[in-house]
Amino acid sequence: MQNHTTPNHGQVILINKPLRWTSFDVVKKIKFAIRAGKIGHAGTLDPLATGLLILCTERMTKQIDTYQGQEKEYTGMLVLGKTTPSVDLETTFDAEFPTAHITEDMIQGAAQALTGTIEQIPPVYSAVKVDGKRAYHKARKGKTEADVGMKSRTVTVSEFEITRIDFPADAPETIVVGFRIVCSKGTYVRSLVRDFGTALQSGAYLAELCRTRIGDFRLEDAQSVEDFVNEAKKQQANESVA
Catalytic residue among 25, 46, 105, 227: 46
Give catalytic status of residue 46 as yes or no: yes
Neighbours of 146 (CB within 10 A): 9
Residues 108, 99: Cα–Cα separation, whole Å: 15
Total residue count of the chain as it appears in this document: 242
Catalytically active residues, by annotation: 46
